[in-house]
Copies of this chain bind each other. A is one copy, B any other.
Amino acid sequence: MTSLINEIRDFADQRDWHKFHTPKNLSMALAGEVGELLAEFQWLTPEQSLKESLSEEQRKAIELEIADVQIYLLRLVDVLGIDLAAVVREKIQINSTRF
């Protein structure tokens, strides 16, 4: 995870994207990518969306959209200085008392 975060930061650094990568803007970019992921599933039935029902092309498209979502999430976590694994663990803990 840390290694991926660093690769993504270097990528942004080399292209001088720092000024664009505010948390506000990154949350919008993240939402845009999630919108593209939704588009892959929108006309499928829940059954057609299952792993074993997807075509190779569908699967590939979904994988790349998921990657885009994860990339922006890691970028957001990086610019905010958040320990992602720690907050995920904390949230699982909170959920386990709620459900």
Contact = CB atoms under 8 A, between A and B. Distances in A.
B77 A66 contact: yes
Given A34-B31, A34-B35, A42-B28, A88 B62 contact: no
Interface residues of A, number: 66
B64 A84 contact: no
Contacts of A63: 82, 87, 90
A49 to B, nearest CB: 4
Contacts of A50: 22-23, 79
Contacts of A46: 22, 24-25, 45-46
20 contacts: A20-B43, A24-B45, A24-B48, A25-B46, A27-B34, A28-B39, A31-B37, A32-B35, A32-B36, A32-B38, A45-B46, A51-B79, A51-B80, A63-B87, A66-B73, A66-B84, A71-B88, A71-B92, A71-B95, A73-B73
